[in-house]
Copies of this chain bind each other. A is one copy, B any other.
Amino acid sequence: MNHYERSALNFFAASPLDRMTLKRRDAAWLAEQLTAATTRFVPVWQTKNLFDAQDMSRALLLAPGADHLWLAAAEPILLGVHEGITYFGVDVAEGADHLASLQTLGKFEDLRLVGTRLDAKTGGLLALARAMTYWHQRHRFCGDCGSPTQSADGGFVRRCTNPACGKQHFPRTDPAIIVQVSAGDKCLLARQAVWPPGRYSVLAGFVEPGESVEDAVIREVLEETNIRVTNIHYYASQPWPFPASLMLGYTAEATNVDLHYTDDELEHARWISRRELKEALQAETIKLPPPLSISHRLIESWFDTGECGRLRDWL
């Protein structure tokens, strides 16, 4: 399997949406789309997406028109076009008049909790809306001079309104590594104190300025568990807009097995064999991250190469 095919299996990836990047600066085209009957808006409030409260697998999209005159005024973000429908993301301001009516219409919920109930296309669309509205919220002022910024280029730029500055700011995505570390037939799993009880996962952390992704893999594993890794291979990637990460998945092999949590990030770390993991999952003493995450896929990919069958056949 090539790396595109592997990444495409990850939720939120391989969206069929055409981002129409070349139309972002076409003001006339954008204005036309904002009021077209076929256009749909993806509302986000406090980083949550809007769903049908009776059927959370149904995302609620809004049509332009008399009911939603606020939409075109709310710095809408061009998400893209798919099958003749133009999609915009829109942030529902705190305290806005229309917030209450939207809350009657449906339920705002964290995309991670709904994720796999959605079809993949909708998942990608909602993830993009969430990521972009979060970025706008956090860049309302210019980091260079402190003046207000305003949305431009279909929402893919924020421009400083101070004519003496005028700096452009672009959407931010934070690359992060996530790595499945093996030692013989065992896999390294760990948990953070803030996670739900029993939840274990593979290690992850942000790539820092001035390091390659593979440098970050080595540094993170060493910092968090005192394990040195080798034989590092890229696995796949996944957009993870919670709030703004890009997960870069790897596999690696440990050269030592003595775990130390030198970091206050981890509450516990352990080596576990496939058989031990299977038993712990069946006894519900260990829970894995949700299947929509690349962390789950990395664990599954390791598990499935062993003698305990395929994880998805019995989990």
Contacts and interface: CB of A to CB of B under 8 A. Distances in A.
14 contacts: A3-B234, A7-B213, A13-B212, A15-B215, A124-B210, A138-B144, A141-B144, A170-B174, A171-B208, A171-B209, A175-B175, A211-B239, A213-B237, A248-B248
A298 interface: no
Nearest to A294: B212
A209 B245 CA distance: 8
Interface range for A: 35 or more
A1 to B, nearest CB: 10
Interface in A171-218: 171-175, 206-215, 217-218
A7 B210 contact: no
Contacts of A135: 209
- Interface of chain A: mostly helix, strand, loop or mixed: mixed
A140 B145 CA distance: 7
Contacts of A207: 173, 246
Given A2-B232, A3-B234, A137-B144, 13 more contacts: A3-B214, A22-B263, A132-B210, A138-B143, A139-B143, A146-B147, A171-B208, A209-B241, A210-B239, A212-B239, A212-B246, A214-B237, A215-B239
A270 B248 CA distance: 31
A116 B223 CA distance: 30
Interface in A223-276: 223, 230-234, 236-239, 241, 244, 246, 248, 250, 262-263
Given A22-B223, A207-B246, A146 B148 contact: yes
Nearest to A219: B19
